[in-house]
Amino acid sequence: MSINDATVAVTEELATRDDMIICEGVDKWYGDFQALKGVSATIKEREVVVVLGPSGSGKSTWIRCINRLEQHQSGRIIVDGVELTNDTRNIEKIRSEVGMVFQQFNLFPHLTVRDNITLAPIWVRKKPRGEAEALATQLLERVGIPEQADKFPGQLSGGQQQRVAIARALAMEPRVMLFDEPTSALDPEMIKEVLDVMKDLARGGMTMIVVTHEMGFAREVADRIIFMESGEIVETGTPEHFFTSPEEDRTKLFLSQIL
């Protein structure tokens, strides 16, 4: 079976799944600067999409638009059948369905690891405290640091903090996880522990959009790679297609610079 056949097979299988995120012609300006130029993409259920591109290409802006940390000015974004509009109910609903992991972790420094994780389940999902704490313990085991539950974020290493951040997002039992350069602020020896957790998550069938510079991760885990530059989606394809036979010149240039 040739690479192209495999791509076709995957694409066909994907086509049968439900749409999780639909973006249609999303535009975003910062003042006069247009950060997103008509971005359109559809992400299927259980799909892992890696977004690549040079810095300033709009990757982060795009995924931040998906849970309304940034507001797009035109186009449509539909998450799990709910369209993002100014209606706060929709925004609240989408935010509780979409988990996000940040480059700088953004853990709450004044709360213990356990409280970081249980805060949103208790107050947003309205879970009983006992249940939320059991879930926190379970998630900390899943990310490999159950013994750190009573520490404060400042007492943990960067890799541990990022794993707590992932556990915190997962505690909301989201249907989609967004990763905004999750390993960029980490020391090299800590990157692997975070990527392992993400791989594990991908194998578990989570729908994921990952903005990253980790090519190894993209090649191994991604179902699809989206390449962006200057606020546009330049090329989309499977990892095999993307890394071995890119079509666009800009993609080739990018790959030649980083590989």
Partner 1 sequence: MESTPLDTQTTVESDVATRPEEASLPPLEWMQRNLFGGGQGSVGAVARSTSLTVVFTLLGLFAYQQLLNFIFSEETNWNSVRVNLRLLFTQAYPESDYHRIWVSLGLVLVLSGVGLGLMKVGRGISMKKIATWCVGWGVLVVLGVFLRQPSVLVGDDGTPLLADADGVALARDGLGALVYLDGSPAPSQGLSVVRESYGDAISSRSGWLLIGLVLIGIAAAIWFGFGDKRRRSTFLPAIPLSIAGIGALISTTWWYNWGNYTFSTDEETGVSGFNFEPSVKVAETTRNPWTIMFVVLVVAYVLGRRLRGRAFEQHFRGLLILGWFLAPFVTFFAILRGPEFDWAYVAAVDLPLWLAFGIGGAALMWALTKPGIGEVGRVLAVLVLAIAAFTWIAAFFGWFGMLQKVRLSFLLLGLTALLAPNFIGEARQRLTLVYVWTGTITIFHVMATIINTPSSIEVPTEDFAGGFMVSIYVTVFTLLFSFPLGVLLALARTSRLPIFRLLATVYIEAFRGVPLITMLFFFTVFVNLFLPEGMELALLAAVTIAFVLFSAAYLAENVRGGLQAVRRGQYEASDALGLTTVQRTGFIVLPQGLRVSIPPLVGQAIATYKETSLLAIVGVFDFLRMARDIIPNQPEFLGERKPALLFICVIYFVGAYAMSKYSQRLEKNLGVGER
Kindly tell me which residue out of 69, 78, 215, 255 binds partner 1, with binding defined by CB under 8 A: 69
The secondary structure element, H or E, covering residue 247 is none
Choices 10-18, 32-40, 73-81, 167-175 (CB under 8 A): range interacting with partner 1: 167-175
180 versus 229: smaller Cβ distance to partner 1: 180
Q: Is residue 168 involved in binding partner 1 (CB under 8 A)?
A: yes
C-alpha closest to that of 97 among 222, 206, 225, 212: 206
Q: Residue 128: what are its φ and ψ, rounded to 5°?
A: -60, 145
Beta bridge partners of 99: 177
* CB distance 204 to 35 below 8 Å: no
Distances (CA, A) of 111 to 63, 115, 127: 27, 6, 19
- Spatial distance between the Cα atoms of 242 and 248, rounded to a whole number of angstroms: 10
What part of residues 83-142 is at the interface with partner 1 (CB under 8 A)? Answer: 92, 95-96, 98-100, 102, 104, 106-110, 119-120, 123-124, 126, 128-129
Write the interaction track for partner 1 spanning residues 49-68; mark x where CB under 8 A is met and - where it is not: ------------------xx
Give the interface with partner 1 as residue ranges (CB under 8 A).
67-69, 92, 95-96, 98-100, 102, 104, 106-110, 119-120, 123-124, 126, 128-129, 154, 168-169, 172
